[in-house]
Structure 1
Amino acid sequence: MSRILARSFALAAKSTGRNAGADPVAAVQAHWFPASGSRRTDRLPSSARHLSSSSRLASQPLDQIAKPVPPSIPPPLKGIKVVDLTRVLAGPYCTMLLADLGADVIKVEHPKGGDDTRAWAPPSAPSKPIDQQRVPNSKRDAWSKLPEESAYFLAVNRNKRSITVDLKSQEGREILHNLVRQADVVVENYLPGKLSSMQLGYEDLKNIKPDIIYASITGYGQTGPFGPSAGYDVIIAADAGLFHITGEPDRPPVKVGVAVTDLTTGLYVHGAIMAALLGRATTGQGVHIDASLFEAQIATLANVASSYLISGKEATRWGTAHPSIVPYQVMPTSDGYIMVGAGNDGQFKTLTGVLGKPALAADERFASNAGRVANRDVLIPLLEELLKTQTAQHWIDKLGGRVPAAPIRNIKQTFEHPQAVARGVTTEVDHPRAGRIKISAPAVRYGEGKMPVSLCAKRASAPSIN
């Protein structure tokens, strides 16, 4: 570790014209940022690019996607610098969205193992033989012993650079302080008060950078009786209503297939940071953003929360069905399942016509949505028996878009969906150890194209602090 540190400082000094024996904190500051006060978007010097664990310039897309359609605007966060102290999912997802928009995100990881999700494998991206990896000769022995990069980590850490720093050491704190002096945003997901105990809380960093935007992501928020409690996606989903409404009515609660509480929290915080940056441009003031999984989950109960608050009636589980619209659920066909969403009387009439039973739409029990909701236990079995006479694709073709419907696709089928291919939902980048790998692309287009994915996340290696 000390050799890596010394090599990092030497390269930083060389690239900035400093003596290799200069102050290491100043060397790291020069290594990562331009001169104080500058908001230019200078990248790392060529001599240091191979050291950063996620250098923007380190990756090359595959030949077939080498010339993607560029977005109609330049990256809107170009020049914004973010110090990322988060790990696992909610925080890294938030900072990845900022990086996708051009922010220079520096992920600060623990020297022993880094982000927890690096070890969440299998699956992982298989490493190529060491002689085929883009690794400095001086690090080949160390890198050959590293575990393969987990797919989980790769999912939410694209477009970032990474360093390892021991925040409990005085030297590590000094390095972080120097990073913050040149940063616009800090994002962290430690327990409330933990970073303050290390002189890295909002008030501490505000003294260093008065206009800093400091976003804290916790399980329950900075205050309140549950504030000190740790927060995990599934725990919060249980504690904040989501599990209660997820699953079949006569079965135990189930979790959603992805960590949706973490992801929605990351989206909320990403939006809050964007708003804070706009506010700072007007007022010159930074802010402490206090976000929690608990409040984000309650906010995303949406119409379920509103129904309870307005009516006082408790919600329940509906499986794939809808409490207020019928038919609006998954139903079986002869070879699988199909999701049908007849959202109004006209669509229901079309559906019954396609099924060969137009009389159902004229039946007074089913002629209106209110009647269909009241008589769902009679109507749904009738529709299921009709749908089971043909394949899912048969009914999709017959409905022809006149009634919203879709087959239940697995993940392979989802990525092979012609719309997914046409819209470019994946991209391929060059990983220094795994070679060219496929990852998800950003979800949004700006004009004709998406913001570029110039790199995937890589193993943090330097600069490092013992």
Structure 2
Amino acid sequence: MTTQPPQDMFAGVKVLDLSRGVAGPLTSMMLAEFGADVIFVEHPRSKDESRVWPPFKGGLSAYYATNNRSKRTIAVDMKRPEGLEVILDLARGADVVMQNFTPGAADRLGVGYEAIRAINPRVIYHSVSGYGQTGPDRGKRGYDPVLQAGSGFMSITGEKGRTPVKSMAPVADVSTGIYGFAAIQGALYYRERTGEGQHIDLAMFDIMVSMLSVIGSRYLLTGKVPERHGTENPQRVPSAAFKCADGVYLQAVPGQRQWPDFCRLLGHPEWIEDERFATPYARVAHEEVLYPLVHEAMLAKPAAQWRQEFDDHAIVCGPINDLKAVFEHPQTIARGMIQSYEAPGVGEMPALNLPWKMSKTPPSIRRPPPRFGEHTVEILKEIGRTDEAISALIQAGVVADMVPHAQVGPAQ
């Protein structure tokens, strides 16, 4: 029996990405690392804003690199008639066109859904915006912290009785990138069966509301606005980060089957028969009594000892790792979550790998993040522009040729 070599899931798929920032570029980067040919469009003078966000290595922004590796790039001023003509020529041959302009802006630029569909009826047109193409807030710009706040996500994050807290991880941007990747996959599958393209209207606000998940469903069922609970889970008691004898915090989540062993290990077998704590519902009802008792008991031993004892009794627990611990963790290394690549003029760059482990179509880093305008000439030739025409476009400032990373961001 022979093993087939890995295949590219999106081999032959062409993506024209007009988006900027994080959410859109993250989606197209995922498509690229599964084999799609992604052309990332920048403006000849303003460039993508994430290119100048620190930290830098050799002028290459880690922020830009995280979301734009494995792509090709072209610098075009689509507000100029010659530039718009280039974009439309690229769109004619694209399977997917992506943009994250404020609703209405793409139409004014001549690259809205109807304009692209008129020249490419099978196109999958992916619009990302803060609040979507419809509704009273459609014209507002959306940024990750504002979406965390306005969606209710921030209202349930933080310690009980204290101010709301923003997640340091850009959850609105990243979740929108992942949802976009899923939506485009579904649209490609639908087109494969029917031959029809479609418009995907993806709103970061909608996604953050959907991320409320069971907490949102709980409110819809009860009408009760949830409080902040820090590390505690109000539906599963006890479930929290507990301080141990050595000052290390351990997140522990004993289930009902493990509750008797948990009580014995903490030195309180009497809790097993205590009617206030005997069932999950009872423990939730009496959490104000139970939590102080568990916190006090956990101070008796260091975290490593608790972890071993809990593991021996199938009680789910784990430390609160900082990023140093995460990236040095054997599980992180074993799962290949840290990769690296060589970037011209920069050297070796570390990178977070995509999480999907697929036996037939694994993703991989195809090329380093493109230098500004790196593939402008190459791409223009692919759509039939002659050397003379390309030189004229460059001279007129309609397109830009390659600029090294060190000339875009601070060289460090």
Which category of TM-score, normalised to the shorter sequence, fits these structures? 0.7 to 0.9
Tell me by how many angstroms 1:71 deviates.
9.4
Q: 1:403 aligns with which of 280, 293, 315?
A: 315
Alpha-carbon spacing, 1:83–1:448, altered in 2? closer, same or farther (3 Å):
closer
What secondary structure, in the 3-state scheme, does the structure 1 residue paired with 2:29 have? helix
Once superposed, which parts of structure 1, at least 4 consecutive aligned residues long, lie more than 6 Å away?
Answer: none
Asked if 1:451 is matched to 2:363, the reply is yes
What secondary structure, in the 3-state scheme, does the structure 1 residue paired with 2:257 have? helix
What secondary structure, in the 3-state scheme, does the structure 1 residue paired with 2:370 have? coil
Tell me by how many angstroms 1:456 deviates.
2.3
What secondary structure, in the 3-state scheme, does the structure 2 residue paired with 1:314 have? coil
Q: What residue is the counterpart of 1:124 in the other structure?
A: 56
Tell me by how many angstroms 1:458 deviates.
2.9
Q: What residue is the counterpart of 1:433 in the other structure?
A: 345
Question: Residue 333 of structure 1 contacts residue 387 of structure 1 at CA under 8 Å; is this kept in 2?
Answer: yes
Equivalent-residue separation in structure 2 for 1:420 and 1:181 (angstroms):
42
What secondary structure, in the 3-state scheme, does the structure 2 residue paired with 1:190 have? coil
Question: Residue 91 of structure 1 contacts residue 217 of structure 1 at CA under 8 Å; is this kept in 2?
Answer: yes
Asked if 1:280 is matched to 2:191, the reply is yes
Equivalent-residue separation in structure 2 for 1:89 and 1:385 (angstroms):
44
Question: Residue 14 of structure 2 contacts residue 37 of structure 2 at CA under 8 Å; is this kept in 1?
Answer: yes
Q: What residue is the counterpart of 2:25 in the other structure?
A: 92
Question: Residue 82 of structure 1 contacts residue 187 of structure 1 at CA under 8 Å; is this kept in 2?
Answer: yes
Q: 1:152 aligns with which of 63, 66, 78?
A: 63
- Report sequence identity in percent: 37
Question: Residue 34 of structure 2 contacts residue 362 of structure 2 at CA under 8 Å; is this kept in 1?
Answer: no
- Encode CA deviations 1:183-228: one digit per residue, 9 max, x unaligned: 1001110001111111111111111111111000001111111111
Q: What residue is the counterpart of 1:76 in the other structure?
A: 9
TM-score by length of structure 1 reads: 0.78
Deviates more, 1:294-303 or 1:111-120: 111-120
Question: Residue 109 of structure 1 contacts residue 165 of structure 1 at CA under 8 Å; is this kept in 2?
Answer: yes
Question: Residue 342 of structure 2 contacts residue 348 of structure 2 at CA under 8 Å; is this kept in 1?
Answer: yes
RMSD: 1.7
Equivalent-residue separation in structure 1 for 2:360 and 2:337 (angstroms):
14
Asked if 1:420 is matched to 2:341, the reply is no
Amino acid paired to 2:256? D
Question: Residue 71 of structure 1 contacts residue 450 of structure 1 at CA under 8 Å; is this kept in 2?
Answer: no
- Encode CA deviations 1:368-405: one digit per residue, 9 max, x unaligned: 11111111111111111121222212211111161110
Q: What residue is the counterpart of 2:225 in the other structure?
A: 314
Equivalent-residue separation in structure 2 for 1:173 and 1:408 (angstroms):
51
- Encode CA deviations 1:284-332: one digit per residue, 9 max, x unaligned: 1111111101111111111011111112221221111111110111111
Equivalent-residue separation in structure 2 for 1:449 and 1:273 (angstroms):
17
Q: What residue is the counterpart of 2:381 in the other structure?
A: none
What secondary structure, in the 3-state scheme, does the structure 1 residue paired with 2:258 have? helix
Question: Residue 72 of structure 1 contacts residue 447 of structure 1 at CA under 8 Å; is this kept in 2?
Answer: no
Asked if 1:388 is matched to 2:321, the reply is no
Question: Residue 236 of structure 1 contacts residue 297 of structure 1 at CA under 8 Å; is this kept in 2?
Answer: yes
Equivalent-residue separation in structure 1 for 2:283 and 2:341 (angstroms):
50
Equivalent residue runs for 1:157-306 within 5 Å: 157-306=68-217
Equivalent-residue separation in structure 2 for 1:250 and 1:241 (angstroms):
16
TM-score by length of structure 2 reads: 0.87
Tell me by how many angstroms 1:73 deviates.
4.1
Question: Residue 158 of structure 2 contacts residue 228 of structure 2 at CA under 8 Å; is this kept in 1?
Answer: yes
Equivalent-residue separation in structure 2 for 1:183 and 1:71 (angstroms):
29
Question: Residue 96 of structure 1 contacts residue 158 of structure 1 at CA under 8 Å; is this kept in 2?
Answer: yes
How many residues align? The count is: 374
Question: Residue 88 of structure 1 contacts residue 115 of structure 1 at CA under 8 Å; is this kept in 2?
Answer: yes
| Structure 2 spans left out of the alignment, 5+ residues | 377-393, 401-412
What secondary structure, in the 3-state scheme, does the structure 2 residue paired with 1:234 have? helix
Q: 1:338 aligns with which of 240, 250, 270?
A: 250
Question: Residue 71 of structure 1 contacts residue 451 of structure 1 at CA under 8 Å; is this kept in 2?
Answer: no
Alpha-carbon spacing, 1:449–1:360, altered in 2? closer, same or farther (3 Å):
farther
Equivalent-residue separation in structure 1 for 2:337 and 2:300 (angstroms):
34
Question: Residue 71 of structure 1 contacts residue 445 of structure 1 at CA under 8 Å; is this kept in 2?
Answer: no
Amino acid paired to 1:456? P
Q: What residue is the counterpart of 2:285 in the other structure?
A: 374
